[in-house]
Amino acid sequence: MKIKLLIAVLAGFTFTACTNTTPSVPAQKTVVNSFENASEAKTAAFKAKQREVGLSTKKDPNYHSPMSEIKAKNKKDWFNNQMYRLWDRQITRNQYITESVSEFPNHKYEFTFIANGF
C-alpha cells in the first residue's frame, strides 16, 4: 500500500515539473514619446503610412473622426504616439484598440479601422 502511495506522489511531482510556470505573453513595457525619439527615416515612413490611413478614412461613411475630441482633450501627441507604437509593433493591434477606446469610448469603430489600416 505504501509503495502505491509513493508511486502516485512521485508521478504527481513528475507531472508538475513539466508544467510551464512562465506567463504566455510577456508584459509590454510602456514607451513614452517613442514617436519623438524616432529617426528621420522612420518618422518619414510612419507619416506616409499615417497619411495613407487618413485618406482611407474618407472613403468609409461609418468613420467619424475622433480628432475633435482628441484636440479638445489636448491628446494629439498621445494619439500620434499610439499610432506610432502600433505601426512600429511596440504594441499589438488589440492593445492599441483597448488603450485608445479607454481614452475615447465612443470611437471603437474608428480605432479598429485605424488599427486595421496599420
Q: Which of 3-12, 17-26, 48-57, 88-97 has the lowest mean pLDDT?
A: 17-26
CA dist 69 and 79 (Å) reads: 11
Distance of CA 20 to the CA centre of its chain: 25
Distance, in Å, from the CA atom of 50 to the CA atom of 118, rounded to the nearest integer, reads 8
Residue 36 has pLDDT above 50, yes or no: yes
Average pLDDT of the chain to the nearest whole number: 80
All three cell numbers of 40, joined, read 528621420
- Per-residue pLDDT tens digits for 56-87: 888 888 888 888 888 888 888 888 999 999 99
Query: Are the C-beta atoms of residues 33 and 81 closer than 8 Å to each other?
Result: yes
Residue 118 has which C-alpha cell? 496599420
Q: How far apart are CA 13 and CA 36, in angstroms?
A: 51
pLDDT band at 112 (very low <50, low <70, confident <90, very high): very high
Please state the pTM of the whole predicted model: 0.65
- 59/24 Cα distance (integer angstroms): 39
Residues 37 and 101: beta-carbon distance below 8 Å: no
Measured between alpha carbons, how far is residue 67 from residues 39, 70, 75, 80 in Å? 26, 5, 9, 11
Proportion of the chain above pLDDT 70, given as a percent:
70
